[in-house]
């Protein structure tokens, strides 16, 4: 329904601001986290990396229309909230767990202005720590490319739809990453 309203607004020539939907855990996410993490995790701070322009943590735009995080906060906070939702759905979240995942949003881009190709890319640095020991410090990235259109009423919704999938795919990369799975496995001993 949201895309129909967006398409109608764009067809009438208006620019719009669209918030992302709240993240929803998928069955694949739940199974992946249950299989890969044998203990509960806490989630620490998520912020924008120093090199990321502050505006890129608050919104991305395509042909005059903007996409914002669902809570009105930041995309780095959205990434944190999405991770917590996935961990809770998998039964692997505890605020007091000794293993803590934190992160930085490193890249957040949406380019749909081209008349032939649209692209989007999201990257984050994930850090997993137990006590003072760093178990993981890794940047993961997801990108997408699709055939775009000259028509804004076609190109803008397509770009927003492709961008919307970026954060779940990025977290999916994290959950299957062998280093992450090792970091969130059972403690040795």
Asked if residue 188 belongs to a domain, the reply is no
- The pLDDT, as a whole number, for residue 164 is 84
Asked if residue 189 belongs to a domain, the reply is no
Q: What whole-number distance in Å separates Cα of residue 161 and Cα of residue 90? A: 26
Q: What whole-number distance in Å separates Cα of residue 120 and Cα of residue 65? A: 15
Is the pLDDT assigned to residue 4 strictly greater than 50? no
Asked if residue 54 belongs to a domain, the reply is yes
Nearest to 109 by CA among 155, 153, 150, 75: 75
* Backbone dihedral angles phi then psi of residue 97, each to the nearest 5 degrees: -65, 145
Q: Select, from the ranges 34-38, 57-61, 124-128, the one with the highest average predicted confidence (pLDDT).
A: 124-128
Asked if residue 147 belongs to a domain, the reply is yes
pTM of the model: 0.85
Q: What is the pLDDT of residues 82-140, one digit of tens each?
A: 999 999 999 999 999 999 999 999 999 987 655 677 788 999 999 999 999 999 999 99
Asked if residue 48 belongs to a domain, the reply is yes
- The pLDDT, as a whole number, for residue 71 is 76
Q: What is the pLDDT of residues 140-176, one digit of tens each?
A: 999 987 777 666 556 677 777 778 889 999 999 999 9
Of 55 and 61, the one with more pLDDT: 55
Is the pLDDT assigned to residue 7 strictly greater than 50? no
Q: Which domain holds residue 75?
A: 2-183
Instruction: Tell me the two tokens of residue 125.
Output: 């640095």
> What's the number of domains the chain is made of?
1
Nearest to 23 by CA among 85, 111, 66: 85
Task: For CA atoms 50, 179, 74, 61, give the dihedral sign.
Answer: positive
- The pLDDT, as a whole number, for residue 113 is 57
- The pLDDT, as a whole number, for residue 115 is 66
157: CATH: 3.40.50
Three-state SS at 64: coil
Q: Select, from the ranges 33-42, 67-76, 107-116, the one with the highest average predicted confidence (pLDDT).
A: 33-42
Three-state SS at 117: strand
Q: What whole-number distance in Å separates Cα of residue 79 and Cα of residue 95? A: 17
């Amino acid at each position: 329904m949201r895309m129909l309203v967006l398409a109608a607004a764009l067809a009438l020539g208006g620019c719009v601001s669209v918030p992302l939907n709240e993240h929803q855990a998928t069955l694949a996410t739940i199974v992946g986290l249950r299989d890969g993490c044998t203990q509960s995790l806490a989630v620490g701070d998520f912020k924008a990396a120093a090199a990321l322009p502050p505006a890129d943590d608050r919104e991305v735009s395509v042909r005059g229309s903007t996409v914002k995080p669902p809570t009105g906060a930041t995309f780095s906070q959205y990434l944190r909230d999405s991770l917590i939702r996935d961990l809770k759905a998998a039964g692997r979240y505890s605020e007091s767990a000794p293993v803590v995942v934190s992160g930085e949003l490193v890249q957040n881009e949406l380019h749909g202005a081209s008349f032939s190709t649209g692209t989007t890319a999201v990257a984050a640095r994930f850090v997993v720590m137990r006590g003072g020991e760093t178990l993981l410090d890794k940047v993961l990235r997801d990108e997408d490319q699709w055939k775009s259109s000259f028509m804004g009423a076609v190109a803008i919704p397509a770009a927003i739809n492709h961008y919307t999938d970026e954060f779940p795919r990025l977290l999916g990369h994290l959950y299957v990453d062998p280093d992450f799975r090792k970091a969130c496995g059972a403690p040795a001993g």
